[in-house]
Structure 1
Amino acid sequence: MFKNGGMAVATSSRYLSTSCTRFSNIGRQPIRIGSDVECATYQIPYEFCKTFTKGKDTINLDQQVVIKGPKGVMKLALPGFVKVLNENDLISVSVEDPTNKIQRAMWGTSRALIQNNVIGTSEGHLAVLRFVGTGYRALLETDENGTKVVALKLGYPYTPKLRVPVGLTVSSPNPARLLIEGVDKQQVKLFAARIREFKKPEPYKGKGIFVDGESIHLKEKKIK
């Protein structure tokens, strides 16, 4: 406050706002595992390490987290700055420097991938496909090599056929439903997406292949 011609004039000070570094809300949450699930961490020799580039930095994936469960085994390569600790049936994930942008980004990602592997090896992952449309259905067949094949009836003059990848189990409770199960969540969802590509849901009649709880907002046709 200062005086101007005998009148007091109030002024307000403006401060620059600053924000503190926020740690990963996902990464710091522990993962609970059952008694039938094992978690172990192993170092990978330098000559066998995979790398990836983030900006100007090259990150070495020099450690491997192995999750064993009743459904199978999953392996995950992680950089050395990610610390995985398994104590009292709880897996905790941390990083060496939470203020580092790259390490902070990998913190939550690593924790999410480990949790997916824990769920996959203990319970398995599932994708449900719904075939909506007259005559749309899926048939399970076996080729001459004994490999299971998914045949799609989608109104085309031909029948698309996809081989079931190794490690996945496909079943059909009814012709308009397809269940894809597996230990690896990425492979389960990827195979579901490949099938969906043949007939994506369209917004006018609501026909197509829907994955899990997918829904679309129907549009009205423009009348000229």
Structure 2
Amino acid sequence: MSRSLTQNCFKQLSRGPLRQGSLPIYLAPAFSQPQRTQPFSTTSSTQSRVGGAPISVPPEVSLKFIDLPQTQVRGVAKDIPKTAIEVKGPLGVSEGHVCILSLVGVGYRATVESTATTVEPEYPGQQFVSLKVGYSHPIELGVPQGVKASTPQPTRILLEGVNKNVVTKFAAEIREWRKPEPYKGKGIFINGETIKLKAKKIR
């Protein structure tokens, strides 16, 4: 689009009933100025656009300042809140994140204790999850800071916390001690996890 045509279109917009002094945001890409290159020399210092510090560029190097089109700017602005919600988790601050673990197997039990015999506490008041999942001794795991553990039933473990990553990571650590096996369907399941059973091996 030529410069004269751009100016004429802008004048027509200025003469309209709303008399807009600036272009609407959805028309900005069509009326944007072409990208220009600006050479730099080492003899004169140029102010940096970021921190205001002078920079020195070799003579054979040319810098080009590119402004993102409006479509890209809108996409970045839209993704920033989404990223903040998924990573930082404002939803976790208001409602919290929950993981429910189910212990499936004969004699499988879990309790939450205030002390442990095989694990040293990492911070004052730390709780411990004690698992009885078929080993000769109970498995004791320290609850991470910021996570609340409870056992509403002997075969249920409820984990609650603000940080989703910490809650799910601790749930995965508990699951590692008895992963679901595909022949008898026993193991530790997270949040309604299911497993497809295989046929028993017949010799």
Which category describes the TM-score, using the shorter chain as reference length? Answer: 0.5 to 0.7
Larger-Rg structure: 2
Greater than 3 Å deviation, 4+ residue runs: 94-98, 107-110
Q: How big is the shift at 1:221?
A: 1.2
1:131 paired residue number: 103
For residues 202 and 183 of structure 1, the distance between their equivalents in structure 2, rounded to whole angstroms, comes to 31
Q: Any stretches of 5+ residues in structure 1 without a counterpart?
A: 1-45, 47-80, 82-93
TM-score by length of 1: 0.51
Given that 2:185 and 2:197 are in contact with CA atoms closer than 8 Å, whether structure 1 keeps it comes out as yes
2:85 paired residue number: 114
For residues 96 and 222 of structure 1, the distance between their equivalents in structure 2, rounded to whole angstroms, comes to 59
Match of 1:148 among 127, 139, 149: 127
Q: How big is the shift at 1:219?
A: 0.6
2:200 paired residue number: 221
1:96 partnered with 2:67 = no
Q: Deviations over 1:64-92 (max 9, x none)?
A: xxxxxxxxxxxxxxxxx9xxxxxxxxxxx
Match of 2:179 among 200, 206, 209: 200
Q: Percent same amino acid among aligned pairs? A: 46
1:163 partnered with 2:135 = no
For residues 80 and 103 of structure 2, the distance between their equivalents in structure 1, rounded to whole angstroms, comes to 33
Cα RMSD after superposing both structures: 2.8
TM-score by length of 2: 0.56
For residues 203 and 109 of structure 1, the distance between their equivalents in structure 2, rounded to whole angstroms, comes to 42
Which secondary structure state, in structure 1, belongs to the residue aligned with residue 153 of structure 2? coil
Number of residues paired by the alignment? 127
Q: How big is the shift at 1:193?
A: 0.4
Q: Any stretches of 5+ residues in structure 2 without a counterpart?
A: 1-50, 52-67, 117-123
Q: How big is the shift at 1:113?
A: 4.6
Given that 2:147 and 2:167 are in contact with CA atoms closer than 8 Å, whether structure 1 keeps it comes out as yes
Q: Deviations over 1:77-133 (max 9, x none)?
A: xxxx9xxxxxxxxxxxx96385xxxx79xx758615515612101110000000000
For residues 157 and 165 of structure 1, the distance between their equivalents in structure 2, rounded to whole angstroms, comes to 25
Compared with structure 1, are the counterparts of its residues 109 and 156 closer, same or farther at alpha carbon in structure 2 (3 Å cutoff)?
Answer: farther
Compared with structure 1, are the counterparts of its residues 222 and 114 closer, same or farther at alpha carbon in structure 2 (3 Å cutoff)?
Answer: same
Compared with structure 1, are the counterparts of its residues 121 and 201 closer, same or farther at alpha carbon in structure 2 (3 Å cutoff)?
Answer: same
